[in-house]
Amino acid sequence: MGSITVDVWLYGALARYGETLRFLGQHAEALALLERAVALNDSDFWALGSLGATYSALERQRSALLTFDRALALSPQYVWAWAWKGVVLRQARRYAEAVQALERALDGVRASVEKLHSKGRLTDAQRDAGLTGITPAGDLRALRDADLVVEAVSEDAALKRDIFAQLDALTAPHAILASNTSSISITAIAAATARPAKVIGMHFMNPVPLMQ
């Protein structure tokens, strides 16, 4: 019994520390810890999702996709993993599969919205407006006419800067570009654009639908 308790604590420490290092952009160090954590407990979809994102940051896309698939086999409604898998597939130019992954992410969103509706937290009108307001896309060019763009990819500074540079080139000069980051400098992200005064932080705490 004692050894099981120690393993649980060790697993938790490795997973959390690895996730923290991933947030800080120290991906090689994060990978070593997260792989050890998953070796101790391969039934935690959250740790597998974090490991998949770390593989992606290190450009090990095949490992990333395989790991996301393991996470999604454990939790088919893991919206973040479906969305991140879509990003990896898009980077690999597997656009049709990317859109399919985004559709699966939307299935998770729909299930969450329907659950809130069934509990009386949302009216019929609020549910319908929320669901019809989402359109999946496999290309950033779909955001060309947006007045406000909110980025919510993994906490990978290089990835965020790359996305903001692309958004800066695609969107109108008046568009506000927001990041959902909880740990990366907005100033550093804004430096990738020609409009730093229009780059803002807009962090949503988790779980978003339940926050007041």
Dist CA 111 CA 98 (whole Å): 20
In whole angstroms, how far apart are CA 87 and each of 40, 53, 80, 82, 137? 28, 10, 11, 9, 11
**Both tokens assigned to 4:** 């099981």
CB 124 within 8 A of CB 117: yes
Dist CA 118 CA 98 (whole Å): 30
Given the residues 27, 117, 174, 203, the one annotated as active site: 203
Helices and strands in the chain: count of H runs, count of E runs:
9, 3
Phi, psi of 47 (to 5 degrees): -65, -40
Catalytic annotation present for 174: no
Comparing C-alpha atoms, which of 63, 8, 7, 62 is closest to residue 31?
63
Q: Hey, is 197 helix, strand or coil? A: helix
Residues labelled as active-site residues: 203
